[in-house]
Structure 1
Amino acid sequence: MLFSLFSVFLTQALPLPLNPFRYMWFVFKTFHYQGLQHWNTIG
């Protein structure tokens, strides 16, 4: 939870070209969403 809030702060604090965390956060959300959809399909 704390890490998520910190990540949101990082994504909002710096512009996109200067913030690699924003790219990682986008990738994390994308894979996490796909993972949930995958498990929901199996379940």
Structure 2
Amino acid sequence: MAEHKQGSMDITAQEKTFEGFIKFTVRTVVVILVLVVLLAIWNG
């Protein structure tokens, strides 16, 4: 078996994917909150 050395793996693709996921999640939450506030204002 090959010897595994911790910290030697290239994880740039995983980091980019995670960064994109976080951005998408934050933007989605902001849009939902804005829609909820607008619905609350319009329905009084």
If asked which structure has higher relative contact order (CA below 8 Å, sep 6+), I would say 1
Q: CA deviation at 1:18?
A: 0.6
Q: TM-score, normalised by structure 1?
A: 0.57
RMSD: 0.9
- In structure 2, stretches of 5+ residues that fail to align are 1-8, 36-44
Larger radius of gyration: 2
The sequence identity of aligned pairs, in percent, is 4
> Number of residue pairs matched?
27
Structure 2 Cα separation of the partners of residues 19 and 27 of structure 1: 12
Structure 1 Cα separation of the partners of residues 18 and 26 of structure 2: 12
- In structure 1, stretches of 5+ residues that fail to align are 1-16
Structure 1 segments (4+ residues) deviating >3 Å: none
Q: TM-score, normalised by structure 2?
A: 0.55
